[in-house]
Every structure is written in structure tokens, then in C-alpha cells.
Amino acid sequence: MAIYGNGRIANELHHLFANKKPEQVTIYDLLEFDQMHYDGIAALDVAVEKCQIKEHQHIVDIGSGYGGPSRYLAWKYNVNVTAIELQEEHSNQANELTKYVQLGSKVRHLNADISALDTREYNEKFHVAISLLVFLHIPNRDQLLKNVSSILKLSIGKLFIEDWYCKYSFLPEEVKCLSEKMLCPYLPTKDEYIEQLISAGFGDIEFIDMTESWTTICSKRSEDFYLNREIEIQKHGQSVYEDLLSFYQGVDKLFKNGHLGGARIVATKLR
């Protein structure tokens, strides 16, 4: 997944270690760059409230990226997190970051594809699954939701998703941008999304439209990244900077066009 695998974390750590020793690194230092979804830790606090997450529960973070959400939940809410990440490089970097802040006993990093996971080891293990901006990369929703469902506790297991969906029909150039640039080959409509969750055994579904707020966030992210270009180029180099800028501008345009939707979805595993 080239859009995420561009050495960003190594550059951020290099920048951080210019001013700090590794043993001085705090969770706040990492929060500056380790969240890849919108609205950072505010979104995680919402997940905790919506899913009624409690101390010592077992949480699975699906598509955990650099591990930022997993670490924050473990640190702030004292839960145990299994962080499943497809890309080996990300998973290893996430593990390294977790060790810097001494959260290794609370956050376990697992390099795996959620759709191909041997779920027997995790059968009904988790109280809550969170997945932030990941499902948009996974077109086979049947297999995905089957696996997610099987690792959640029956009747009480909660699923918290942040994802894109198809709000209005996409233009041909948007379909191309989504599949080629965003690695997003398929997006369901709201009705299709809910139908897929019900078919997979989920109920009590709350579908919260986040489009307006995420349009604003993505517009600001793109503008800020451009305004801070000198610092960002110094940190990442010209080529990575341009890749990131192009990605941020692409997302900004998709939201502004009005066809792409953003959603926060909460559901319970009922069967």
C-alpha cells in the first residue's frame, strides 16, 4: 500500500530524536503523528463512550496502522489491545513505538490480513472491535464481516467503524481516483452497508453521517500541509512531501465534490 508506506514514521522519529532521547518519549509526542484517521483522539473517546469500553476489556484494532489508536486506548482507558495490521513494516514500526512508551504489556501487534485471519485462536475473544478508515480498502465485505463477527463476544460484542461510503453516484474520474490513488475499489451505499452488517449478524446499528465534519477536516489538513511545506519538506524530503500532498488534496476534492460520504457506525453482534 504505497499511500501509507513512504518512510513517514522513520522521518518523524528522526525529527523527534533531534530534541529528545528515546527514553524521554511520551505518548503525547507520538500523538503528533501516529493517528491516521480524522479527529485524532476525540474520535477514540467517542468510540469508548459509544461502545461503553471498560477497564481490562479486550479490544481489537483492525487495520491498526502505526498503532496510535491502540496505544491511546491502552494508555487512557487501561484496556488490552490486539492491533491487527496488514503491512509488516507498519506493524513492526508500531511495535517499536509501543515499546518507546512502555505499553508492550497492554498492546500486542499482530501482522495479519483481517480477511485471511485464522479466527479460531480469537473465537469470541473481544468485547469491542474498532476499525478506523480501513474497510474502504477491503472490497470483500462478506469475508471481512464474517471474520470480524467471529472474534467478537456474542450479544455484547460491539463494532465501531469509521469509513467512507457512496453517498451519491461517483463520476468516472472519481471511481478512477478512488481505486487507483486511494486504493479503494468498492464503496457501498448507506443502505447496502447496513444490509451487509445485518447479514453478518450485527444489529442495533447506528449510522452517523460524518461527511460535513470530515469535509472540513480534510480541507484544513490539505491547506495546512501546503502552508507548512517548508517544515514538511525538511522532515520528509520533496518526493514524500509531494506524494502526501497529492493524497491529501485528492481526499479533499473527493469530499468537496459531495459524492463521497463519511460515516461512523456502531453495531452489536447479535448472532
Tell me the window of 20-28, 79-87, 203-211, 223-231 that interacts with ligand SAM (CB under 6 A).
Answer: 79-87
Task: Write down the least CB distance from residue 108 to ligand SAM, Å.
Answer: 15
115: contact with ligand SAM by CB under 6 A: yes
Tell me the window of 8-16, 126-134, 170-178, 244-252 that interacts with ligand SAM (CB under 6 A).
Answer: 126-134
Q: Residue 258 region, left (φ>0) first, then alpha (ψ -120 to 50), else beta?
A: left
Q: How far apart are CA 141 and CA 145, in angstroms?
A: 6
Q: Closest residue to ligand SAM, Cβ-based?
A: 65
Tell me the window of 8-16, 63-71, 121-129, 230-238 that interacts with ligand SAM (CB under 6 A).
Answer: 63-71
In terms of C-beta density within 10 A (0-12 exposed, 13-18 middle, 19 or more buried), how is residue 3 classed? middle
63: contact with ligand SAM by CB under 6 A: yes
The residues near 26 (Cβ < 8 Å, ≥ 6 apart) are 101
Q: Pairing relation of β-strands 260-269 and 202-209?
A: antiparallel
Q: Give the footprint of ligand SAM on residues 10-49 (CB under 6 A).
A: 35-37
- All three cell numbers of 192, joined, read 447496502
**Contact pick of 8, 137, 141, 158 for ligand SAM (by CB under 6 A):** 137
64: contact with ligand SAM by CB under 6 A: yes
Chain-centre distance for alpha carbon 99? 20
Closest CA to 69 of 84, 55, 54: 84
65: contact with ligand SAM by CB under 6 A: yes
In terms of C-beta density within 10 A (0-12 exposed, 13-18 middle, 19 or more buried), how is residue 56 classed? exposed
Smaller CB distance to ligand SAM: residue 253 or 270?
A: 253
Q: Give the footprint of ligand SAM on residues 243-262 (CB under 6 A).
A: none
113: contact with ligand SAM by CB under 6 A: yes
Tell me the window of 83-91, 194-202, 227-235, 251-259 that interacts with ligand SAM (CB under 6 A).
Answer: 83-91
Report the b/e string of 136-150 with b at 16+ CB within 10 A: bbbeebeebbebbbb
List residues near ligand SAM by CB under 6 A: 1, 4, 35-37, 63-65, 68-69, 84-87, 90, 113-115, 132-134, 137-138
